[in-house]
Structure 1
């Protein structure tokens, strides 16, 4: 709830803080900081929670006697307490900082004037659902957040199910890919590509990587060897191709959120706050679609279940090409 309120306020603020054509780049900068923490968090939590415990994955847990398994899971649960207490303290300190931080003001009167100038808002009875590009943007965010959560959160479960060691750290690979994607967006938008082009490119990459997951091997590590084998970093393990493709979805997902927000909030003017609240509801996709993936994985297997993301990326592509331009239902 707290993060939802924070996002509702921060995203339109960043969009309207400067030129609208470069809004995606500003949100991408926010994403760089956000996902950099996303890279570090699984590593730090793994070291805190699993320190002193044997290397475990789903296969090793299933092979344990029931009493030993119950004891191990209890020990892991107890070790979660201190990290979450520390996180709560950090958030409290952050709240105190924001109370004393002088943020620049946004001119609401200018936004109202812009709304009155656009034919979309000629009616006094205009409702927030009367803006097609906003509603379709919220649906796109629903599919995007669902896809992002599936890519980030199931990679560890999937890796564990096929016996990948240290599977709890695999989320960091997805986050690293997202950080790279944010950096590319920060550099390229709007210098070389528009926000709309960035969104379409992201959707196409999503389709390509999802298709690759479905067709890739669970034993061959050729893709990861090509991508980071040349670095010589011993701490970077070579991953099965299917797992590597899941991680690469982070690259496809990176610029979707930054690009949709300015496109969906375009010309909303005085309706911007309501529009932001509607867009934030798209986060529900991160709760619903992973459950769909879970149900599908029980029916057709974890690898084949990733096919549910294909229609998600196809809808995002539709929004990038046509939906963001739609002025009337």
Structure 2
């Protein structure tokens, strides 16, 4: 899979910067949930399982709109789809205000679902775009750069909310979120305008045009997206990965609160720091020193170590081992996308839609985590991550090589 936009490497800088801002916006929007979960838990007096439904509502949009998003991209192109996604974000964020006023969990879930729609359309646009913007061999390097922008935004969201509100999370009332959300709405509407006017060339993967199938011989004789086993196994790997990454990023404030740690919102930085370290390594070492599949295997081992230690050590220390889980997660997304999307040719957009649908793992696995937390305690609930990382290791070892 190669870039078909006609650009050479020296013209990639501006598009990469613009797409990086959009990856930051994705992370910021998802990071809001890590603040809302403990807030809803205390303000509405609901269980952990109920408060984690906010995450489920956000990520369930990927299941319903992953494929429609690919159709929209095919109709209006990547750039206009990006702009449309920010409008969806703004609408979802606006609905958080009446949700807080009415103290309604149902309204919060609706608002989260609509913002999740925006996230679906934006991720469906930016992930394949950055993957095919240059050579496939260095796609993980570009995705690592995007990951730094994305993961730094996760802890900035709760920190921004805390700074604007001016209270510790345990003292916040629901109506206190009105001002920061009005600011966020304005910023996301501005980003939509920037996306629409930005100098982003339309790009295509090799063989994506029906009349250029010779550019991708492997896909030339295929008649269905289901004939690509390396893609289908990669979709499952991405499903599991998004779930465990969301746990490592989205549960820290809640876990710190359950441990009785002061200024719980500051613990949101533990996972992003681990991830950014991993992304920097990806930028420096891929593909010059290690391949994308080697990076995936190394990260799977690190994540397994972190998840086992998070469960096994005394709980007052366990929260810090989530950094190893996050470090392991860092290069999984940058490696999984190009490994699964290689040689899809004319099925590139369809493959991308399946990968986006797999992001629904961020709804299902954290919800299962919350159920385990209510039944067995927060520390033991992290055990759910272990089998997920085992499968991702399998995909990095042999699953990505399977061809029909």
Normalised TM-score (structure 1): 0.82
Q: Distance in 2 between matches of 1:309 and 1:244?
A: 16
How many residue pairs match? The answer is 286
Map of 1:228 onto structure 2: none
Map of 1:82 onto structure 2: 179
Residue deviations 1:85-118 (CA, integer Å, cap 9, x gap): 2111111111111111121232467544356743
Residue 121 (structure 2) pairs with residue 5 (structure 1): yes
Structure 1 residue 9: deviation in Å? 1.6
Q: Distance in 2 between matches of 1:320 and 1:153?
A: 25
Structure 1 residue 316: deviation in Å? 0.5
Residue 122 (structure 2) pairs with residue 122 (structure 1): no
SS in 2 for 1:267: coil
Map residues 1-329 of structure 1 onto 2, 5 A cutoff. 1-49=117-165, 51=166, 53=167, 55=168, 57=170, 76-107=173-204, 110-112=207-209, 113-114=212-213, 117-123=216-222, 126-218=223-315, 240-328=316-404
8 Å CA contact 2:218, 2:343 repeated in 1: no
SS in 2 for 1:191: coil
Q: Distance in 2 between matches of 1:315 and 1:171?
A: 27
Question: Of the two structures, which has the highest relative contact order with CA contacts closer than 8 Å and spacing of 6 or more?
Answer: 1
Structure 1 residue 304: deviation in Å? 1.2
Shift in alpha-carbon separation, 1:21–1:91, aligned structure 2, 3 A: same
Residue deviations 1:116-155 (CA, integer Å, cap 9, x gap): 74344414xx211221111111111111110011111112
Q: Distance in 2 between matches of 1:197 and 1:108?
A: 24
Q: Which runs of 5+ in 1 are unaligned?
A: 58-71, 219-239
Shift in alpha-carbon separation, 1:110–1:136, aligned structure 2, 3 A: closer
Q: Distance in 2 between matches of 1:117 and 1:78?
A: 55
**More helix by percentage:** 2
Structure of greater Rg: 1
Q: Distance in 2 between matches of 1:272 and 1:95?
A: 25
Residue deviations 1:58-109 (CA, integer Å, cap 9, x gap): xxxxxxxxxxxxxx5xx52111111112111111111111111121232467
8 Å CA contact 1:42, 1:172 repeated in 2: no
Normalised TM-score (structure 2): 0.67
Map of 1:225 onto structure 2: none
Q: Which runs of 5+ in 2 are unaligned?
A: 1-116
Q: Distance in 1 between matches of 2:324 and 2:163?
A: 24
